[in-house]
Amino acid sequence: MKKITVETHLEVYDSLEELPVSIQKLFNKAQQARDTAYAPYSHFKVGVAITLDNGKIIQGSNQENAAYPSGLCAERVAVFYAGASFPKSAITALAITVKSSDKIVTTPVAPCGACRQSLAEYEIKQKSPMAVYFMGETGKIIKAPSIKALLPLGFDGSFLDGN
């Protein structure tokens, strides 16, 4: 039996002040987006801000629905809007922050599996990595240099029809 080792490298920051000013501003936009979340069922609001290589910043927030599968995560709201509105622009960085009405979230919250898969598709399409920063409401921030650090054995179009 052959074994493989998968390693990932992440950076951990103790506070927003340790980040570059451009990323601090991106988190500010993510926090603003978080406040627009529609989360009457989970009471868990997520905000995202994306920086594009054309300088535009795109925001997204989670949008729930009583028919649970019909809702959409903040990351996909933002990335799908970016892809539809700026199809030739690459995503350079993504900031994610959360807030719960039940407790203060101090642990960094990474994207869910469906969002990781969607982000991976865009990263492959643009042929360049996107830095993913994520945090709770307060506390430490984690930086992944690429979505591949969060989804190292990802599925992509190369598995389909000989692509």
Query: Would you name the residues annotated as active-site residues?
Result: 75
Nearest-angstrom CA–CA distance, 82 and 75: 11
| Separation in Å, CA 119 to CA 39, 138, 144, 163 | 22, 24, 13, 19
Cβ atoms within 10 Å of 150's Cβ, excluding its own: 20
Q: What is the C-alpha separation between 133 and 101, in angstroms, rounded?
A: 22
